[in-house]
């Protein structure tokens, strides 16, 4: 019997060029979210923020956030946004990115949201070859995949952050699956620490508990761009950070 191959991407952050090739040689593509690029921490000239306010201001914001001076970062950001109708300006920029990115998705693609995504816009751009799932299951190549999108609340206040309770309910709704696909990792220090940003990102305790309880073959996630550890086993489950697609441009492959 011929094998099945799935290519998994996360943290696309505007990389439409490589996304268009992400399905080459695969039977399906799975996307774990963060399509939007607000601000590129490696190249401060890229993203919605520098498009609106310039590279110098973007660099200043990155410096404040990296130093964990979140209140100062918010005050600085607010001063720049003063006099600008923020909602329409951001939405217009996000729409331009979504139009390009969703057009690049190969068919079939199964996708869930990241913490910087705007879920209410996705139905307008997802074509017939793209299935959007959040707190839901789907069979891909004879295996059951569960999808839980979004992130947990943080001082960064990104667009799709939800309460721990709401997130846990989505994990519960997915139940037992072969492959558990989320944007954020389980709450394990080695998996949530970003070695470049020098901070712990938020992982999910509910996800960790579900991995221990339901023992999926794989737990796949992204969110942490430069993790201390890219993969580890929790019991019988292989936990894998599929990589920062925006910079790597290569999907992670799962075959059976």
Give the pLDDT of residue 41: 84
Q: pLDDT for 78-116, tens place per residue?
A: 999 998 998 899 999 999 999 999 999 999 999 999 999
Give the pLDDT of residue 197: 82
Give the pLDDT of residue 15: 96
**1.10.10.10, 3.60.21.10, 3.30.420.40, 3.30.465.10: which CATH number matches 5-35+105-255?**
3.60.21.10
Q: pLDDT for 148-203, tens place per residue?
A: 999 999 988 899 999 999 999 999 999 999 999 999 999 999 999 999 888 899 99
Confidence of residue 1 (pLDDT cuts 50, 70, 90): very low
- Say if residue 131's pLDDT is above 50: yes
Instruction: State phi, psi for 137 to the nearest 5 degrees.
Output: -120, 155
Structure pTM?
Answer: 0.93
> Rounded distance, CA 34 to CA 99, Å?
14
Rounded to an integer, the average pLDDT of 53-82 is 93
Q: Domain locations in the chain?
A: 5-35+105-255
Give the pLDDT of residue 153: 97
Give the pLDDT of residue 2: 64
Counting beta carbons within 10 angstroms of the beta carbon of residue 66, is it exposed (0 to 12), middle (13 to 18) or buried (19 or more)?
middle
3-state DSSP assignment of residue 112: coil
Closest CA to 124 of 150, 103, 140: 103
């Amino acid at each position: 019997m011929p094998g099945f191959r799935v290519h998994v991407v996360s943290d696309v952050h505007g990389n439409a060029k490589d996304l268009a090739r992400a399905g080459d040689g695969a039977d399906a593509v799975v996307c774990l979210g963060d399509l939007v690029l607000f601000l590129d921490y490696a190249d401060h000239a890229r993203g919605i923020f520098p498009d609106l306010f310039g590279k110098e201001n973007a660099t200043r914001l990155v410096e404040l956030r990296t130093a964990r001076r979140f209140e100062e970062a918010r005050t600085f950001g607010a001063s720049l946004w003063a006099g600008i109708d923020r909602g329409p300006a951001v939405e217009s920029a996000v729409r331009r990115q979504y139009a390009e990115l969703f057009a690049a998705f190969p068919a079939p693609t199964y996708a869930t949201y990241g913490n910087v995504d705007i879920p209410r816009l996705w139905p307008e751009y997802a074509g017939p070859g793209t299935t959007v799932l959040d707190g839901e299951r789907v069979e891909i190549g004879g295996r059951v995949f569960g999808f839980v999108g979004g992130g947990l609340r943080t001082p960064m206040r990104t667009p799709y952050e939800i309460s721990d309770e709401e997130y846990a309910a989505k994990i519960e709704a997915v139940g037992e699956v072969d492959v558990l696909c989320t944007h954020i990792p389980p709450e394990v220090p080695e998996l949530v620490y970003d070695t470049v940003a020098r901070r712990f990102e938020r992982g999910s305790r509910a996800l960790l508990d579900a991995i221990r309880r339901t023992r999926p073959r794989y737990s796949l996630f992204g969110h942490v761009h430069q993790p201390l550890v890219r993969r580890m086993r929790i019991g019988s489950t292989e936990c894998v950070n599929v990589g920062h697609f925006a910079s790597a441009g290569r999907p992670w492959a799962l075959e059976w």
